[in-house]
Chain A
Amino acid sequence: MKKSWGEKCFQIFNYTFLTVVAATMILPLLQLLAVSFSSPIPAESKKVFLFPVEFTLGTWKHLLQNEVLWRSFGVTIFITVVGTLLSMLFTVLTAFPLSRKEFLLKKPIMIAIVVTMIFNAPMIPYFLTVRELGLMDSIWALIIPGLISTFNMIILRTFFMGIPSDIDDAARIDGCNDFRLLFQIYLPLSKPVLATIGLFYAVGYWNSFQAAVLFLRDQTLWPLQMRLRGFFESPEALADVNLVMGDYDFNTITLKAATIIFATVPIVLVYPFLQKYFVKGAVLGSLKE
């Protein structure tokens, strides 16, 4: 089919526009990566674009010796791994009964849960509740209050409801109880959607910030994102040495760039592998009943 002149113009514009905007999504990170491998002087004078100038590993060597940073890394790894596992367990256990026709409380509980999406509790009573539970300055404050994301729960429930019921009729005849039905039949069938919500939870925990702002006064428990912000506010803490006094192969600019990369790369590395799953998952969650 012949294309009109206008359509050709539009196609050219469209490809160019999308390329340019897509580039802005990745360039800032690549630039920070380049800065983190550059020497202080070119970094200071903003000469670094996409490739390191006067390549050095000094910044990374210094950064990776920072015990405070590793401590925060450990906290973040803990809340991401333990938090995601616990969240998956709670979400699966909640979504399954809510997907069963024979469960009489299905509808009232579902309504009660959706109500909490519309009426979000204000920040202060939420803060006071968590405090009353004795979770202040506890690592569990970063996990327990966010165990179930209603959005993820609904994604999983929608998926469970789509599994044909002849499967569980057959299982029941074989004397399969509800727990076995869930863990041995439903979950293996739900791997893609479990991968999706697992990723959503992991990203949430990895990037968790507000919970740390609200509930952690004790700096030793700060997760990575909170530590990152602390470093932004006082770069001296990050450098950990008197930069003016000596001749170092790093400065606060290269250190800051390296810290951002350090706090970002692990989660960004996982995501292309799971991309094919999460698109499906995100769509499932939006289905109207």
Chain B
Amino acid sequence: MGSQATTESAWRGGVKPFKASYGKMMMWFFLLTDALTFSGFLGAYGFARFKYADTWPLAENVFTHFPGIHGDQPLLYVALMTFILIMSSVTMVLAVHHGKNMDTKKVAWWMGFTVLGGIIFLGSQAWEWMHFIHGTAEGALQLADGSIAKVIAAGTEVMGQTYNFDVLRLGTEKFITDPTTIATLSAGAEHVYGANMVVNEYGLPQFANFFFFITGFHGFHVFTGVLLNLIVFINVLFGTYERRGHYEMVEKVGLYWHFVDLVWVFVFTFFYLV
């Protein structure tokens, strides 16, 4: 009879395999599948990035803006975004910590900060997207074969020389300085500004597609995380978990939130650094 009772309660979620509750374990298995999904995306990105290594735009040449600072600031803005997300991961883990001590007031504070951190991150991402979509003031030429050429204004030093006419740059470092070739290439070329799903003034449109898809899918996770955190935050304020006798719900959304931070660590490396 004893073993039957155990089986029955197991199907009702009564026993804890791995000494982890049903909810926590299932959150982990969901996160595992989600990790595989993101690996697929980043793997596909790596495939395209190395397949078109010669003409692939480098993120450090694309995302160079920082609010309030003029000129090129590669990596600085995305470093700030990374810092915000790590910080909000810390506030989350502090909320979990105080939840274990049943300290409602401190859980509420740290959950509140976590929600705030998530909202700031989403705002930062919107700003980054806006700059990428709008592009630069001078834009670029999309040549007849679909490739992108940057127009370098006359008088700018190119490979140690200056020219009294506009020269073209293909890819990251191939310069076209011969006037006849420039004229041939420019014929039928179209001026493009910024990036979207069809054109990308920084180079291959696939780069823009991957950027929108991967950071967009991650941003969607952040957005979902903020909603979940907000629901838990409100429940903390209402004393729901105080009455329940434990703060496991904070732990479960905490796992999801840390996972969002974890994915960003990889997006940061493989999209912006490598």
Q: Do A and B come from one complex?
A: no
